[in-house]
Amino acid sequence: MTPLPSDNIIWTDDQGTADEKMLQHFFPPQVKLFGNLVNTLHDLHPETSYKLTLSALSFSNRKKIRQKDQDFYNLGIKRSYKFRNKQFNTYSYGMGKEVILVHGWGSFGARWKSYVNRLVNLGYKAIIVDAPAHGTSPGRFLSIPDYIGILMRLFNESHDLYAVVSHSIGGICSTVALNQSIQRKKCKMIYLSAFNSCKTMLNKFSRCIGIKQKIIECIEGWIPKYAGNELSYFSISKHLHTMQADIMLIYDKEDYIVPSTEVLTLLNTHSSIEYIPTFGLGHNLRSDTVVEQVLEFIKG
C-alpha cells in the first residue's frame, strides 16, 4: 500500500510544543519532581521505578460532577459491577440495538449526553461507562489492562452490540477488549481523537513527567511482566485486521495530545477507514457537527 502523503489531511507535530501544552494543562507544576524521583530511583531499584511510573500514569485526576451531569445520570438505568478489586458503573438509556460509549482518561460517561439523547431518539439503546476512578465510580487509579478487562466484560454481556463510540485512549481499550471478547458479530467502531498505540502514550506522558528516555525504553521491555503482553499488543492497528467492523476516525488538526503520526499509522494500515479531519476543535471534539457525523455513520 502506498503511504498517504503528509499534506493538509495529515499534519506533522511539533513534539516539544505539544508536550509543553499537555504539561501545562494536565499536570501539576511539581510533577517534574516526581520525574526526578523516578530517574534517581531507577539507578537504585529499576523495577520499583517502573511500577511507580505506571502508577502515576494510572492516576485519575477526577473531575467534579456538575449538577446537570448528575441529572443526566439519574435519567439512566444504573448498574454497578465489580472487576477484580475495583467497582465501576454503567448507565443505559432507551431500547434497541446497543451502542456503547467509552470515555478517555480523566473523563467520564456524562461527556456523551448529547450523543445519548439523539441515539435514544433514533431507536438505539445507549450505554455509557464510568470506568473505575472516573465519574461516579470510586477509586483513584485505573490501568490500561483493567480498563480492557472491564470493557471485555461489558462486550461479553451485550446481547445486541451494534456500535462502539470511543474517545482518546478509550479507543485502544475498546479495540483490544472487543477482540478478546466472545462478540463475533460485525459492528461499527467510531474513534474520536484516538491514540493508536500504548507505546506512543507511554512515551508522551513519560516525557511530560520528565522521565529519561533510557528509562522509558526499559519500562517498555518490562511491560509483559506487568500486563501479560508485549507493549505492541496494546494498539488499534494490531487488532483491527482480525475484527469485523466498519470504522470511522475523526481527528482535529489542533489536537496536541494525540500525535498526527498515530492517525497516519491507522490510515496506512487500514484503507477502509472513513476518515474525517476537523479544524479548531482540539482533543475533545465537542461539536454538534461531529455528533451528527457519528450518528450518520451509525445509521448508515
Q: How confident is the model at residue 240 (pLDDT cuts 50, 70, 90)?
A: confident
Give the span between the Cα atoms of 54 and 143, in whole angstroms: 8
Domain residues of the chain, as ranges?
Answer: 15-299
The pLDDT of residue 5: 36
Q: pTM of the predicted model, to two decimals? A: 0.91
Quick one: average pLDDT of 218-240?
Answer: 94
**Which CATH class name applies to 15-299?**
alpha beta
Q: In what order do the strands lie in the sheet with 245-252?
A: 77-83, 86-93, 125-130, 98-102, 161-167, 187-192, 245-252, 274-278
- For residues 270-274, give the mean pLDDT: 90
Is residue 10 predicted with pLDDT exceeding 70?
no
Contact 110, 63 (CB under 8 A): no
- Quote the radius of gyration of the chain (alpha carbons, Å): 19
Beta-sheet strands, E only, within the chain: 77-83, 86-93, 98-102, 125-130, 161-167, 187-192, 245-252, 274-278
Checking if the pLDDT of 3 tops 50, the result is no
**137-194 per-position pLDDT tens digit:** 999 999 999 999 999 999 999 989 999 999 999 999 999 999 999 998 899 999 999 9
